[in-house]
């Protein structure tokens, strides 16, 4: 029986991915700050699907938090077959005005912790000759993002990093999939204080479940980059043929607060 480790599993896409894996008979290691929410999910999934769920309450924006989780799974003798780096958050506002401490946590979580998790578990996967990793980026990865400059930059890193290591390990039986959702109906917008932006306000957004279903299927097929939604795919790829200065202006208009 395979085991999936999912970060940011207490809500949104991470929670839906946990449900999908459990429904397929996979055991789970769920990681998030809110351990009580994870323990509620553990009870629900173990009862429904007869799987084993191990929960770890951890602030993944802290230095070496990924190493601490890895060491705990080693001590528990849990082999991780699927690593899903889903935890992440954004911040909405002009860089000159936003909070540095929050941005530092964002950089640590979205980039450093994701990279350290990947480093630790991919080595075991390569030794075994099998395993799958999914790193959750965003359609934000394909262009610069005024009013969310640091967030967009962290997701560009995730995409570039993940594509490169997928190329390195694919012939060793391991695949790395980068899931790139657009704006999604989840707690992300509220956490980033961007409910009033043109990108979100008044829009019917895809659900976390729809994105999770798509991401799971893409990971199982071993796809390198998975952009959810046809229009998101068009927009992400059109960036290649559009002058960068124009792309930045368009993104700014989409991100600005709705009138």
Catalytic residues: 151
Comparing CA positions, the residue from 154, 160, 155 lying closest to residue 137 is 155
Q: What is the dihedral of CA 85, 140, 33, 215, to 10 degrees?
A: -40
Please state whether beta strands 174-180 and 225-227 pair in parallel, antiparallel, or not at all (unpaired): parallel
Using alpha carbons only, give the angle 81, 83, 88 rounded to the nearest 5 degrees. 170
3-state secondary structure of 37: helix
Residue 136 token pair: 């959750």
The rounded distance, in Å, linking the Cα atoms of 17 and 145 is 27
Residue 62 region by backbone torsions, left for phi larger than 0, else alpha for psi between -120 and 50, else beta = beta
The rounded distance, in Å, linking the Cα atoms of 55 and 121 is 18
Residue 92 token pair: 């909405």
Comparing CA positions, the residue from 30, 74, 79, 84 lying closest to residue 56 is 30
């Amino acid at each position: 029986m395979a085991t999936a480790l999912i970060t940011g599993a207490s809500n949104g896409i991470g929670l839906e991915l946990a449900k999908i894996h459990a429904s397929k008979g996979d055991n789970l290691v769920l990681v998030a700050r809110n351990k009580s929410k994870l323990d509620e999910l553990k009870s629900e999934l173990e009862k429904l699907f007869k799987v084993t769920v191990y929960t770890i309450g951890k602030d993944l924006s802290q230095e070496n938090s990924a190493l601490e989780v890895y060491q705990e799974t080693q001590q528990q003798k849990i082999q991780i077959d699927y690593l899903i780096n889903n935890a992440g958050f954004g911040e909405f506002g002009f860089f000159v005005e936003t909070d540095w401490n929050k941005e530092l946590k964002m950089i640590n979580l979205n980039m450093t912790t994701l990279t350290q998790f990947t480093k630790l578990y991919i080595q075991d996967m390569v030794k075994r000759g099998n395993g799958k990793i999914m790193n959750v980026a965003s359609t934000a990865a394909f262009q610069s993002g005024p009013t969310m400059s640091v967030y967009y930059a962290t997701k560009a890193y995730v995409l570039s990093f993940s594509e490169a290591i997928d190329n390195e390990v694919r012939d060793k039986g391991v695949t790395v999939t980068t899931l790139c959702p657009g704006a999604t109906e989840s707690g992300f917008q509220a956490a980033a204080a961007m409910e009033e932006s043109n990108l979100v306000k008044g829009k019917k957004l895809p659900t976390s479940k729809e994105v999770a279903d798509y991401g799971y299927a893409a990971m199982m097929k071993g796809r390198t980059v998975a952009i959810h939604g046809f229009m998101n795919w068009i927009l992400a790829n059109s960036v290649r043929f559009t002058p960068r200065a124009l792309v930045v202006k368009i993104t700014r208009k989409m991100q600005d607060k709705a009138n």
